Structure 1
Amino acid sequence: MSRETLEDLNANTLIGFTDKRGEAWHYREEMQGDEPNHYIGAIPVEDVRRRLFGWEPVEAMSAAIVMTDEGVQTIVDETRKQIVHPNTGAVLGVFKSGYQVHGYDEWLVRNVEIILDDDDLQIGSAGLLRGGAQGWVQIETEATQSVEGVLHRPFLTAATSMDGSIATTYGVGTQVVVCDNTLSVALGSFVNSVKVRHSSKSLGRLGDVREALQLVLSAGDAFNAQVRELIAQPVSEARFEKFLTAWTDTKSDSKRAQTLAEGKRDALRGLWRTDERVAPWRGTAWGVVAGVNTYTQHEAPIRGADRVTRNAEFMVHGRYNTLDAGTLELLATV
């Protein structure tokens, strides 16, 4: 089951550019309330602020109520504090007293507004997960880019959390149009993200954040160079089969493990040979990266969440960078 209900997703996510990507899987007209969460074009900044981030987290003392021989007593821990959602009363996290809260409006909207004066950069999606404990804003370039037949839309994701699960992160990637896949722009020397930890010194790093936000302006060129380089690297069928064996190595001889591994190999073979998201680049290192990325986002079994929520959390946590880089590292060994 998803951590987020359909009601949560319809109320707490905003989806832009539906003329290019269509409706999100969770869209339910009857759950939209007074205004839909889907936008034909870009999402206005003020809508993001009003509909998602119009609240500030509250810091509260961390205390425990205990029963003693003298009755009920409240014990306050002055070394720790709680972060509370002011509207729901939910405790989003408990931290040491030095933890610096990064409010969504300041860190995901105001900082991002710095570059929104560029007419080619607009908000494509935004949302809250886990009852407001995680939030993100994604900026896309309005124009779709093309390289070697790969159509893609570079983006920057600004994300932070109230539960300590992630540092405030500004990172770039790109969305491949044909399969709606998120792909990394970090396989070479391109610096693709900046992280700001929730510490007392974090407010002094706003200059670094401003520099990070400029990354999206050069992400398209970096990704284009990356694709050209990977398409130029041949991968024979024999090498691809060796990659499949290494990719599905379970270190287990159990019949179940071997059956699952064979199913995983068959799925990637199918993408490699016939799927429009991968097959046009069969025989290249780009085809291998595209295949593993597509399998992970659209084919791999999911536990504990629905696929779209899992993919959103992968984006927020920057895990596609690790996925794509790991694919190339493994390919280099076979």
Structure 2
Amino acid sequence: MSAETLTWLNNNTLIGFTTKRGTAWHYRASRQGDEPNHYPGPIPVDDVKRRLFPWEPVEGTIETTYLTGDGVTRLTDPDRKAIIRPDTGRILGVFKQGFRIHEYKRWLVDHIETILDDDLSIGSAGLLKGGAVAWVQVEVPDTCTTPEGIAFRPFLSAATSLDGSLSSTYQTGAQLIVCDNTLSAALATNNAKRVKIKHSRRSLDHVADVRDALGIIHQIADGFAAEVQRLCRIEVSRKDWTTFLERHVPVPKEGGRKRTLAENKRHTLARLWDYDPRVSPWQGTAFGVVQAVNTFTHHNQTVRGAARAERNMHRMVTGGVDDLDLATLQTLEKVLNRPLLTATV
């Protein structure tokens, strides 16, 4: 990873509760005079606003020029507008006039500020894609540990975008301490809590939905712990694991790059299953299978077009974690020939 990427992560992400979960992998000690981006406890709301969201997006017109035989011609498109980050001059997106900006301070900070108290605080926040995507994550102050020895931190994330890539999204999740992975809070259910609000003219009609979503974070810990316990009790034999790998990572019969990539992926998953402390303690269980695939995706899978940290964060805020864990359990269901997905958490 380049120094530029590390600098971006350290300047545009804030990480809280480091005494509970340690520093982020991209952490670098601040130089004298620099303000550190890691906090031993919760991140103050004012710091999120001051350090990440001191600017407000603005709208601009869409104009273009082209050469004709008569000279330079200039056109303006009245049906479209640009969304601009004024402090950098960067154009973040181009949209039809009906697109509504969801300002970061309002949609990510003001909305969640209503639920913050002694038991709920900001645990992380940041900007991605040059400021085109942002998130704020709310956490409980104490790390939870299941009887199976799995330490996790339940959270609710609020995220939105200025480039149209993400509706304003509020959803639950769980951060595992041992590997810094994000798992679905629902884990073994397709009913993960997620509220999405499009950037449309009627955005404000759905604010009540946001308030409802933010009120459930206290319910996450018990539900996640119960699902972990249930999955840890489901046995996965060596033969089952081999069959799962065959279905999860089919290896093409013909030689070439695709076959090599598939074989390498299987080899890495097998190594995680047998030897990696982030996975091997739960070897032989359905939870171990979920953890193997999730760990591979977070830390080993080839990443193109973005830094790994940015891709992982984007997966978290868009709900890709729910899809990943759900797909893993759907495949394992077929291998074990038994239902693994529950109707509710």
TM-score (norm 2): 0.91
Q: Secondary structure of the residue that 1:332 maps to in structure 2?
A: helix
Deviations 1:55-99 (A, max 9, x none): 111011222123344443331111111101111111100001000
What one-letter code is carried by the residue in structure 1 that aligns with 2:63?
A
Q: Corresponding residue for 1:298?
A: 299
**Identity fraction in percent:** 52
Deviations 1:135-169 (A, max 9, x none): 11111111111223211110111111000111110
Q: Tell me the distance in 1 between the aligned counterparts of 2:307 and 2:102.
A: 28
Q: Secondary structure of the residue that 1:304 maps to in structure 2?
A: coil
Q: Which moved more, 1:230-239 or 1:2-11?
A: 2-11
* Mapping 1:171-186, distance limit 5 Å: 171-186=171-186
Deviations 1:221-240 (A, max 9, x none): 22112112212222111111
* Mapping 1:76-87, distance limit 5 Å: 76-87=76-87
Q: Does residue 213 of structure 1 match 2:221?
A: no
Deviations 1:204-263 (A, max 9, x none): 110000011123221112211211221222211111100011111144522433333222
Structure 1 unmatched ranges of 5 or more: none
Q: Does residue 95 of structure 1 match 2:86?
A: no
Give the deviation of 1:23 after TM superposition.
2.7
TM-score (norm 1): 0.93
Q: Which moved more, 1:218-227 or 1:166-175?
A: 218-227
Contact (CA 8 Å) 1:10, 1:31: kept in 2 or not?
A: no
Q: Which moved more, 1:255-264 or 1:321-330?
A: 255-264
Q: Corresponding residue for 1:170?
A: 170
Q: Corresponding residue for 1:142?
A: 141
* Mapping 1:237-276, distance limit 5 Å: 237-251=238-252, 253-276=254-277
* Mapping 1:1-334, distance limit 5 Å: 5-29=5-29, 34-117=34-117, 119-147=118-146, 148-186=148-186, 187-188=188-189, 190-251=191-252, 253-334=254-335
Over 3 Å counting, the alpha-carbon distance change for 1:266 and 1:191 in structure 2 is closer
Q: Tell me the distance in 1 between the aligned counterparts of 2:171 and 2:73.
A: 47
Q: Tell me the distance in 1 between the aligned counterparts of 2:159 and 2:253.
A: 38
Q: Secondary structure of the residue that 1:135 maps to in structure 2?
A: strand
Over 3 Å counting, the alpha-carbon distance change for 1:269 and 1:181 in structure 2 is same
Give the deviation of 1:133 after TM superposition.
0.6
Q: Tell me the distance in 2 between the aligned counterparts of 1:26 and 1:274.
A: 24
What one-letter code is carried by the residue in structure 2 that aligns with 1:177?
I
Give the deviation of 1:175 after TM superposition.
0.7
Give the deviation of 1:307 after TM superposition.
2.2
Contact (CA 8 Å) 1:169, 1:193: kept in 2 or not?
A: yes
Q: Tell me the distance in 1 between the aligned counterparts of 2:302 and 2:191.
A: 31
Contact (CA 8 Å) 1:10, 1:32: kept in 2 or not?
A: no
Over 3 Å counting, the alpha-carbon distance change for 1:252 and 1:135 in structure 2 is farther
Q: Tell me the distance in 1 between the aligned counterparts of 2:253 and 2:205.
A: 50
What one-letter code is carried by the residue in structure 2 that aligns with 1:307?
R
Q: Tell me the distance in 2 between the aligned counterparts of 1:172 and 1:272.
A: 27
Give the deviation of 1:13 after TM superposition.
1.3
Contact (CA 8 Å) 2:57, 2:103: kept in 1 or not?
A: yes
Q: Secondary structure of the residue that 1:5 maps to in structure 2?
A: helix
Q: Secondary structure of the residue that 1:25 maps to in structure 2?
A: coil
Structure 2 unmatched ranges of 5 or more: 336-345
Deviations 1:276-314 (A, max 9, x none): 222222221111101111111122233333322221121
Give the deviation of 1:39 after TM superposition.
1.0
Contact (CA 8 Å) 1:62, 1:82: kept in 2 or not?
A: yes
Q: Tell me the distance in 2 between the aligned counterparts of 1:105 and 1:326.
A: 34
Q: Secondary structure of the residue that 2:334 maps to in structure 1?
A: coil
Q: Tell me the distance in 2 between the aligned counterparts of 1:54 and 1:6.
A: 22
